[in-house]
Chain A
Amino acid sequence: MKDQALSGVRVLDLTWYISGPYCTKLLADYGAEVLKVERPGEGDPTRKMGPFFKDDPHPEKSGLFLYLNTNKKGITLNLKSSWGKDVIKELVKDVDILVESFSPGVMERLGLSYEDLEKINPRLVFTSISNFGQFGPYRDYKASELIIYGMGGAMNEEGLPDREPLKKATGTPVLFSTGNMAALAVMIALYQARVDGTGQQIDFSLMEAQMESVDRRMSCLVAYAYNNEITNRSDVRARPVYPVGTYPCKDGWWGMNAMGVQWHTVGKMMGMPELIDDPRWNNMIVQTTPGHREEFMAIFIPWCLEHTKEECVGAAQMAQANCSPMSTMEEVVNDPHLRERGFWAEIDHPFTGKLTYPGRPFLAKDMPWLIRRPAPLLGQHNEEVYCGKLRYSKKDLVKLKETGCI
């Protein structure tokens, strides 16, 4: 098998829910050996979260869990038992990275804090992912994707001015994004550990990960620092310069941005070259004159409605305007571009058979993204790890199971 970027890198994964597992999934998909530790009995709570294969709420059939845990091996372990703590201390000896996403303070109470584990493995990159970080007044606060986005992200700028701010897409893209950034934090710390042997603890707060987000947050923050002005939501239907936004067409919606310097592309796209020099619209200043917007829309919207998404986008791309169709998931999964680029991954799993999963976030010949195994069944690698690696007997394994340790 071809070497991957993280071949030989070992990760002890104590994360659960979404951000933490997405962080370790990224490492695993690029070659790291990730050992996922789940609670005996129930396992990761995402096993109980949809969508489920054929809508059957079975713990091995959660599409969310299956997606978030590719390429990981899985064991069950009760961390509250003293035996469980010893196992972690044993496993931590030869890993490069530990990632945990418990509430702040839990690892300390278990006797598995960074200070405890550093003594066993001084080069360890110990990554703590939490909602609000390991210290500060909100340390123990609860959160959800929506709450993280509202506090950390640019939610206040999204939506209509006279209505409530609006979150991102259905699902939990903000939790994926923060988990994605946690993987970056891990890689930067791992790089340092490799270069000069420094191990350390990363205090990763989901809220702050969103605060340093380029999706509007930073530019609006600096605008406030500069001018003391809060950025309000604006009604895109009334933008003084245009066209920019989402427009209806014959078979759905499409998005485009050809305002300002790109105005000439609009006339080209619509096959109406006379628009290019029309004094009502040929610069941003005249565009803002009351009434001009409505006059433009009276030509533009009917043109959109006469054309399909594909035709609108085709014409606009020919004219070199920024645009795209607004796709449904059906269209995304069947899109010829993504197919030709080999974005999708076919992954076989004992409970679902072969399914299509989202594939690699980036493509590099010398550090391939590979599926070596599907997400682990609950406790699938108990025997391999406890008997193979830690030298317990199969009889011990039965006893451990009976006492709720695994």
Chain B
Amino acid sequence: MTKLPLEGIRVVELGVVWAGPYVCRLLGDWGAEVIKVESCQHYQYYTRGFAPRMPEFIVNISVGYAAYKKNGYDPETAVNTSTLFNGHAANKLSFTVDMRTPKGMDVFRRLIEVSDVLVENNSPRLREKMGIGWDVVKQWNPRLVMLSTPGFGDFGPYKNYRALGSQMDDFVGHGYMRCYLDEEFDTSSAVYHADEVGGINGALAVMMALHQRLSTGKGQFIDMALTESSACHLGQAIMDYTMNKRITQKTGNRDYHGAVQGCYRCRDTKGKFAGGIEFVDSWVNITITNDEEWQGFCRAMGNPAWTKDERFSNSLSRYQNHNELDRLIEEWTINYDNYYIMYALQKEGVPAGPVMDEKDAYNDPHLRVRDFFHELNHPLCGTHLYPGIAWKMSKTPNHLKLPPPCLGEHNEYVYKRVIGVTDEEYAELEKEGHIGTDYIDSITFSL
């Protein structure tokens, strides 16, 4: 089999929360060896869970970012079973070192010397405090590509501002344009577009720099502000302001370019929310762009009389009577399963698709045929299907290989095989607390 494109590339991750780790996930997918640098002395909030040794009630109120609990939840092992982390951490290696000591920093230097890429998304303040700026690391390894991706970038008045993904999206205008038409912004659940885009663009930037390195032989520093990288995705609204001084407003689920579009309630389906509710609501998205799709839509519904109403006779009048149309569409959709509606409408050439909850996704016939989910065996959580790799390449078929790593799981490999410490050194580093598989006892749940 052809080897994967990034085999032989070693990536060192000093990532927190989502954006930095997601950069490395995307590179690890395609064969890069990703080494996540962690510490037994320091807990990174929002990374391996919200907080250390979380009590069960916190896990129960934060379903999607919770932890494995099917065979009983154990706060002592939650560091390794958090879905906030395990969701994206497949294919990575974890090793521990206390970088706040000179010896730990020496270990880090030796790792950088044998690596190709360093990814970090800490605040610039922390990077400077730790003494791992570009001016330092480039002397350790001139071929190194360093990606630094804090919220607001490496310079500028807000350089040291603190924000999570959802606040970054507020800053670039995403938040102001995302809300129900008839609600206020205090109803807005957090969105993390900045983390998603930051991961993708960060990996893209690294690949461009690696590509350039093929001809120059030199590494380089990349400054990526998560806010800027996310703002690039708001093209229509930015251009409307710079061209017409128009401030784009929220549109709910409606289409910017004038199609009739909405998310409509369907028949409840069997399933289980946290808390044990046995039936869950279900929804379908429908977009009707032109007359042809409108006619297909009417056929799929069996051409009810109301569709002949003059108010719905053309694209413009349908858009003008969007509210009334939404009400009538939902009177139809509420009687059926969302998958049934997708099949019925797509058969008539109308764009429609279910809002897929997690159960739908795992059972989806299309994703099954495309082999999207990959089975991995985790030492504490058992064998499960994990979300796989976004795209397929014809000559390098690909599969997730490693389950999300437990803290310090790959210490021996990284220290001895990658960095090349001797058995004696290893024993000493272990004694000094650099090497371990759990946080020190003083790190406890508080607040």
| Chain A proximity of B69: nearest CB distance (Å) | 6
Q: List 18 A-B contacts (CB under 8 A).
A: A63-B236, A136-B366, A146-B263, A164-B262, A166-B179, A169-B178, A170-B248, A177-B196, A177-B200, A188-B5, A208-B390, A226-B81, A226-B384, A227-B70, A340-B157, A362-B149, A364-B209, A366-B220
A355 engages B243 (CB within 8 Å): yes
A254 at the interface (CB under 8 A from B): yes
B189 at the interface (CB under 8 A from A): yes
A256 engages B167 (CB within 8 Å): yes
Interface readout for A342-365 with B: 1 if CB under 8 Å, 0 if not?
010000000010011111111111
A236 engages B187 (CB within 8 Å): yes
Closest B residue, CB atoms, query A331: B173
| Chain A proximity of B32: nearest CB distance (Å) | 10
Closest B residue, CB atoms, query A204: B391
B447 engages A282 (CB within 8 Å): yes
B366 engages A132 (CB within 8 Å): yes
B301 at the interface (CB under 8 A from A): no
Complex-state Cα separation, A257 to B349, whole angstroms: 44
A104 at the interface (CB under 8 A from B): no
Interface segment, A75-83, A315-323, A387-395? A315-323
| Chain B proximity of A245: nearest CB distance (Å) | 6
Which residues on A sit within 8 Å (CB–CB) of B262?
164
A236 engages B236 (CB within 8 Å): no
What band does the interface of chain A fall in when counting residues whose beta carbon is under 8 Å from B? 35 or more
B367 at the interface (CB under 8 A from A): yes
A257 engages B167 (CB within 8 Å): yes
| Chain B proximity of A166: nearest CB distance (Å) | 6
| Chain B proximity of A130: nearest CB distance (Å) | 11
Specify which of A149, A221, A241 lies most central, judged by the most chain B CB atoms within 10 Å of its CB. A221
Closest A residue, CB atoms, query B365: A137
Interface segment, B84-92, B93-101, B312-320, B431-439? B84-92
B377 at the interface (CB under 8 A from A): no
Closest A residue, CB atoms, query B223: A363
Complex-state Cα separation, A170 to B179, whole angstroms: 9
Q: B65 is contacted by which of A213, A219, A327 (Cβ under 8 Å)?
A: A219
Interface readout for B16-35 with A: 1 if CB under 8 Å, 0 if not?
00110110011000100000
A268 at the interface (CB under 8 A from B): no
What band does the interface of chain B fall in when counting residues whose beta carbon is under 8 Å from A? 35 or more
A192 engages B5 (CB within 8 Å): yes
Which residues on B sit within 8 Å (CB–CB) of A343?
225, 228, 231
A403 at the interface (CB under 8 A from B): no
| Chain A proximity of B162: nearest CB distance (Å) | 5
Complex-state Cα separation, A189 to B392, whole angstroms: 11
* Given A173-B233, A205-B391, A355-B239, 20 other A-B residues pairs in contact with their CB atoms under 8 A: A146-B285, A164-B253, A173-B174, A173-B234, A177-B193, A187-B204, A189-B5, A191-B6, A194-B211, A211-B387, A214-B25, A221-B362, A225-B385, A237-B187, A257-B190, A337-B158, A338-B231, A360-B228, A361-B224, A361-B232
B208 engages A187 (CB within 8 Å): yes
Q: A330 is contacted by which of B161, B234, B241 (Cβ under 8 Å)?
A: B241
Complex-state Cα separation, A49 to B177, whole angstroms: 19
A156 engages B228 (CB within 8 Å): no
A55 engages B244 (CB within 8 Å): yes
B442 at the interface (CB under 8 A from A): no
Which residues on A sit within 8 Å (CB–CB) of B191?
158, 168, 215
The answer to whether residues A323 and B272 also contact, given A222-B386, A227-B66 and a CB cut-off of 8 A, is no
Which residues on A sit within 8 Å (CB–CB) of B247?
328-330
A232 engages B201 (CB within 8 Å): no
B64 engages A216 (CB within 8 Å): yes
The answer to whether residues A234 and B351 also contact, given A6-B208, A328-B247 and a CB cut-off of 8 A, is no
B395 at the interface (CB under 8 A from A): yes
Complex-state Cα separation, A196 to B349, whole angstroms: 43
Which residues on A sit within 8 Å (CB–CB) of B238?
67, 329, 332-333, 357-358
| Chain B proximity of A266: nearest CB distance (Å) | 12
B309 at the interface (CB under 8 A from A): no
A64 at the interface (CB under 8 A from B): yes
| Chain B proximity of A315: nearest CB distance (Å) | 13
Which residues, 277 to 309 on B, are CB-close (under 8 Å) to A? 280, 283-285, 287, 289
B163 engages A195 (CB within 8 Å): no
Complex-state Cα separation, A26 to B273, whole angstroms: 41
Which residues on A sit within 8 Å (CB–CB) of B158?
337
The answer to whether residues A208 and B370 also contact, given A5-B212, A168-B191, A367-B209 and a CB cut-off of 8 A, is yes
Which residues, 236 to 254 on A, are CB-close (under 8 Å) to B? 236-237, 240-241, 244-248, 253-254
A230 at the interface (CB under 8 A from B): yes
A336 at the interface (CB under 8 A from B): yes
Which residues on A sit within 8 Å (CB–CB) of B157?
336-337, 340
Complex-state Cα separation, A69 to B391, whole angstroms: 24
Complex-state Cα separation, A148 to B354, whole angstroms: 10
| Chain B proximity of A2: nearest CB distance (Å) | 12
Which residues on B sit within 8 Å (CB–CB) of A170?
177-178, 236-237, 248-251, 256
A169 engages B370 (CB within 8 Å): no
Which residues on A sit within 8 Å (CB–CB) of B208?
5-6, 30, 187, 367
A164 engages B352 (CB within 8 Å): no
